[in-house]
Amino acid sequence: MHFDILCRRAIIRRAGLISFFAIASLLTVACSGGSSGSSSSQTKIQPTDFALAAPYSVPTCTAGQYASFYVQINAAANYSGNLTFDLITPTDKLFANETHTVAPGFTNIWFTVYSRDTVTPGTYDLTIKATDASGLHHELPVRFKVLSASAPNFSIYSALTPVVRPIGVYWTCTSALAQPLNGYNGTITLTQVGAPDGFRVVQSTHNLGGTTGTYVPFDLFVSTTVAPGTYHLVIKVDDGNITQFLYQTVQVNP
């Protein structure tokens, strides 16, 4: 047995781990932690159709910057192809345009909205429109917040790829680097909103302030049923007013 550098196995096993995972494994691949958000008006997916959903709070960016969040695509058994994503917005100072390939089942995409320096700070109601080659399209309403360039804010991103093993325990990962901006000082909460089956991020809170970045640890459970490979997690990071998202890659070794 060896111990990996980026993650260390938690010393104390969590009570009720087996029964908890049995319940968690019943959740869908992309929404194992999401409880709120927007979805398209599609209530039943036809054999050659798709639907959109976005289980998140309000993404936040600073004027002149961008914010990324994930959108879930649920494609029917007979559906596959390329989707072009456009942004319907009340201002030309917010924009996005992406193309993604989808296959039957659930696909998570990392969607980015950009803002110009001259955008007026505030909260905007936007619509993501996804269209395929045949003209079939669906729309997804989202709410987006823009802060002024001088307003306190923070950023968070994955600086390292944790290496873990599927042995049914919690690992403490120190891969997320949070950076306070413009004198930000507050408490941020990390909450899982998207993960494959067999993974679970424990919700945690951390104080953030000062002028330098700091690594924000989180505990990650990896089931014995997880096969070796590369996986992606989506973690919401918010303080009750500002919401950012962490897209975390995890390497599972035998």
Cα–Cα distance between 161 and 170 in angstroms, integer? 16
Residue environment code for 27-66, b if the CB has 16+ CB neighbours within 10 A, otherwise e = eebbbbbbeebbbbebeeeeeebbbbbbbbbbbbbbbebe
Residues 189 and 99 in one domain: no
Residue 2 located in a structural domain: no
Residue 172 located in a structural domain: yes
28-42, 108-122, 150-164: the lowest-pLDDT one:
28-42
pLDDT tens-digit map of 234-246: 999 999 999 999 9
Residues 22 and 48 in one domain: no
Q: Containing domain of residue 222, as a range?
A: 7-30+152-252
Residues 160 and 201 in one domain: yes
Report the sign of the C-alpha dihedral through residues 234, 239, 241, 242, in that order.
Answer: negative
CATH code for the domain in which residue 65 is found: 2.60.40.3880
Cα–Cα distance between 107 and 252 in angstroms, integer? 20
Give the mean pLDDT of 84-101.
96
**Which of 98, 123, 147 represents a domain boundary (last residue)?**
147
Which pLDDT value is given to residue 107?
86
Task: Name which of 39, 131, 40, 42 is nearest 81 in CA terms.
Answer: 131
26-30, 148-152, 214-218, 223-227: the lowest-pLDDT one:
26-30
Report the sign of the C-alpha dihedral through residues 21, 105, 142, 186, in that order.
Answer: positive
Residues 111 and 169 in one domain: no
Residues 139 and 157 in one domain: no
Residues 44 and 131 in one domain: yes
Residues 169 and 227 in one domain: yes
**Which of 125, 147, 169 represents a domain boundary (last residue)?**
147
Cα–Cα distance between 68 and 198 in angstroms, integer? 25
pLDDT tens-digit map of 102-142: 999 988 888 999 999 999 999 999 999 999 999 999 999 99
Residues 55 and 85 in one domain: yes
Q: What is the model's pTM?
A: 0.73
Task: Name which of 64, 44, 68 is nearest 138 in CA terms.
Answer: 44
**Which of 95, 125, 147 represents a domain boundary (last residue)?**
147
Task: Give the β-pairing of 163-164 and 204-208.
Answer: unpaired
Residue 105 located in a structural domain: yes
- The answer to whether the CB of 82 falls within 8 A of the CB of 132 is yes
Residue 40 pLDDT greater than 60, yes or no: no
Number of domains in the chain: 2
pLDDT tens-digit map of 177-192: 999 999 999 999 999 9
Which pLDDT value is given to residue 79?
93
Which pLDDT value is given to residue 41?
39
Residue 1 located in a structural domain: no
- The answer to whether the CB of 187 falls within 8 A of the CB of 208 is yes
Residues 59 and 94 in one domain: yes
- If pLDDT is split at 50, 70 and 90, which confidence band does 149 have? very high
Residue 231 pLDDT greater than 90, yes or no: yes
Please, what is the end-to-end C-alpha distance for the chain in angstroms?
A: 11
pLDDT: which is higher, 34 or 199: 199
Residue 24 located in a structural domain: yes
Residues 141 and 157 in one domain: no
Task: Name which of 52, 65, 80, 215 is nearest 142 in CA terms.
Answer: 52
CATH code for the domain in which residue 15 is found: 2.60.40.10
